[in-house]
Amino acid sequence: MATESTVTARARANVPRGSTLLQVAIGLQTLTIFLQAVSAGLLLASSYGETLHSVGARVTYGASMLYVLAAVLAWKPGGGSPRPIWHASGFLVLASAQVVLGIAHVPSVHLPLGVLMFGLSVLALARTVASTRSRHISAPAHEPGVRG
């Protein structure tokens, strides 16, 4: 009979190697977008808000690039689906638009686009976590040939 830890270890073995990196990258991107919303509020309320928002923009853009890299690594060497590459590339395009709109001082588009990006990033993170959990659940509960 397989123990709980054996089942968990086998379930982890069924998860493509790059999916953990992909989850971390999407989580980081989601966090940085959220922190950009916080720094946008500080931008309106304090003298150091502009500096924080500017630095945060660079970090968020870097997180979007990391998401693309993680998606490629989860796909090619990790054996995953190429779909996250399209999602990650879309986020990078949206992040580029955010940078341009922020520099041009167009808050009427910059702010709603930031909200949209946060929502899409949360959705992408939830999908990635859910797909990993479904792989854990679908893992065999016992070893072939062993009676339980």
* pLDDT value, residue 19: 80
Query: Whole-angstrom Cα distance, residue 131 to residue 137?
Result: 10
Q: Which of 9-13, 21-25, 30-34, 37-41 has the lowest mean pLDDT?
A: 9-13
Token pair recorded at residue 55: 């630095």
Do 33 and 114 form a contact (C-beta atoms < 8 A)?
Answer: yes
* pLDDT value, residue 9: 47
SS3 46: coil
* Per-residue buried b or exposed e for 31-69, using 16+ beta carbons within 10 Å of the residue's own CB: ebbeebeebbebbeeeeebeebbeebbeebbebbbbbbe
Looking at residue 34, its amino acid is F
Mean of the pLDDT values across residues 34-45? 94
pLDDT tens digits, one per residue of 86-118: 999 999 999 999 999 999 999 999 999 999 999
Query: Whole-angstrom Cα distance, residue 141 to residue 144?
Result: 9
Judged against a pLDDT cut of 90, whether residue 2 lies above it is answered with no
The model's pTM is 0.77
Token pair recorded at residue 107: 């808050």
